[in-house]
């Protein structure tokens, strides 16, 4: 029996049957196709040959889909390397803003609108607190927001992870005001402000007819039902929490590597595919993160995985305040000068893909696996047609 399993295996075994009984969007179908074809003959590749012993191998191309468990490592490393240019010699804070699950059915039918509102509400909330004199900053802060849409059990759980620089650039750009203590803002106050701003934007989208209400959500087309939903959401407690602040830039990069380019589930969590069932590991957050096993039908696994396919061109990582693309080049140079012009920060690395793999894995992927002496070099490009006919 096979000992290692992948999401691609589940799609190959059960994907077509699932598609026959479940209407899918073009983006969901495309994602399934990409993951199934990743690093197979379907996407083409090239022949590599050793210059010492004539050993040959075929390397297949990757799909580069952002939902693919096999295609994020290199993208993540390049992104992290680029972020080194944005680091500041200050502490950083990690905050999480979570949407109530009562909104999930509407979000799933209106991902682009509802998730754009999430980013906007969080941005407005954090900037309003940075301006508020009670928090002693009175300036513009800078932060990165990363969208996650899943829980450990693969169900829909929409939340933003925010990495926030520990201070603010004064509005006249003449000083940097550092945050004091072990927290930046009081999370209970943040949660209330976030709730107020999100629901305001949610109502605005409704009044502008930007929301679509099919199936079970159709009742919310009624203004009475919609107002009732908003009132119930306003009465509920919304969850916002803060993790421990980071001590410096190196810890920030370690954090970013864990969160930014995750997909809904990694292949190493899938432990068994058998008899139309899929078993996978998950961390039980209610039981001290204990590793447990969950088994669901293959159809249910596919359904859960596809919940997390994002709309076309939707940006899941966004930058705000003085870290926005428009502001950061000038602002970062200025802030570094204010904080510590002599601070030593991680430097961007100029390296090839081969050098990156050597740094990350300790393995030279150009070294011949047979003779261990020669170098593997590309001798021929292979198109889809070549591979399919061979």
Secondary structure (3-state) at 337: helix
Residues 6+ apart with CB under 8 A from 29: 19
So what's the pLDDT on residue 252? 81
Least Cα distance to 358 among 77, 66, 72 occurs for 77
φ/ψ of residue 189, rounded to 5: -70, -40
Residues 376 and 367: beta-carbon distance below 8 Å = yes
Residues 281 and 292: beta-carbon distance below 8 Å = yes
The rounded distance, in Å, linking the Cα atoms of 203 and 100 is: 16
Residues 195 and 125: beta-carbon distance below 8 Å = no
So what's the pLDDT on residue 388? 46
So what's the pLDDT on residue 188? 94
Q: What number of CA atoms fall less than 13 Å from residue 229's CA on the CB side?
A: 22
Number of neighbouring beta carbons within 10 Å of residue 5: 19
So what's the pLDDT on residue 1? 59
Residues 381 and 59: beta-carbon distance below 8 Å = no
Structural domains in the chain, sorted by start:
73-263+307-339 (3.40.1310)
So what's the pLDDT on residue 389? 40
Residues 49 and 374: beta-carbon distance below 8 Å = no
So what's the pLDDT on residue 195? 98
* DSSP H or E segment with residue 76: helix 73-83
Tens digit of pLDDT per residue, the chain (390 long)? 567 899 999 999 999 999 999 999 999 999 999 999 999 999 999 999 999 998 999 999 999 999 999 998 888 888 888 888 899 998 899 999 999 999 999 999 999 999 999 999 999 999 999 998 888 899 999 999 999 999 999 999 999 999 999 999 999 999 999 987 777 899 999 999 999 999 999 999 999 999 999 999 999 999 999 999 999 999 999 999 988 777 677 778 777 777 888 899 999 999 999 999 999 999 998 899 999 999 999 999 999 999 999 999 999 999 999 999 999 999 999 999 999 999 888 888 888 888 888 887 788 989 999 999 999 999 999 886 544 443
């Amino acid at each position: 029996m096979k000992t290692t399993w992948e999401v691609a295996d589940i799609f190959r075994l059960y994907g077509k049957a699932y598609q026959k009984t479940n209407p899918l969007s073009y983006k969901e179908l495309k994602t399934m196709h990409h993951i199934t074809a990743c690093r197979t003959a379907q996407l083409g590749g090239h022949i590599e040959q050793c210059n010492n012993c004539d050993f040959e191998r075929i390397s297949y191309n990757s799909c580069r889909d952002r939902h693919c468990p096999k295609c994020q490592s290199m993208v993540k490393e390049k992104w992290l390397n680029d972020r080194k240019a944005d680091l500041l010699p200050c502490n950083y804070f990690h905050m999480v803003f979570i949407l109530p699950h009562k909104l999930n059915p509407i979000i799933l039918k209106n991902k682009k609108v509802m998730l754009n509102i999430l980013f906007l509400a969080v941005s407005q909330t954090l900037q309003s607190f940075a301006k508020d004199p009670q928090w002693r900053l009175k300036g513009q802060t800078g932060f990165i927001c990363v969208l996650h849409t899943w829980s450990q059990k693969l169900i829909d759980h929409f939340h933003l992870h925010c990495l926030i620089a520990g201070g603010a650039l004064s509005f006249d750009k003449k000083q940097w005001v550092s945050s004091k203590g072990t927290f930046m803002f009081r999370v209970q106050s943040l949660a209330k402000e976030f709730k107020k701003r999100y629901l305001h934007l949610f109502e605005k989208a409704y009044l502008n007819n930007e929301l679509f209400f099919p199936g079970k959500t159709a009742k919310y087309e009624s203004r009475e039902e919609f107002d009732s939903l908003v009132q119930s959401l306003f009465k509920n407690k919304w969850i916002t929490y803060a993790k421990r602040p980071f001590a410096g830039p190196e810890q920030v990069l370690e954090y970013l590597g864990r969160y930014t380019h995750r997909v809904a589930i990694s292949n190493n969590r899938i432990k068994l595919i058998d008899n139309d069932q899929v078993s996978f590991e998950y961390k039980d957050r209610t039981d001290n993160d204990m590793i447990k096993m969950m088994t669901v039908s293959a159809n249910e696994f596919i359904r859960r995985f596809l919940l997390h396919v994002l709309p076309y061109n939707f940006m899941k990582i966004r930058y705000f305040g003085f870290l926005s693309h428009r502001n950061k080049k000038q602002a970062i140079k200025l802030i570094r000068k204010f904080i510590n012009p002599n601070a030593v920060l991680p430097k961007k690395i100029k390296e090839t893909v081969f050098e990156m793999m050597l740094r990350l894995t300790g393995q030279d992927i150009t070294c011949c696996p047979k003779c261990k002496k020669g170098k593997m070099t590309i001798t021929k490009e292979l198109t889809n047609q070549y591979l399919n006919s061979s």
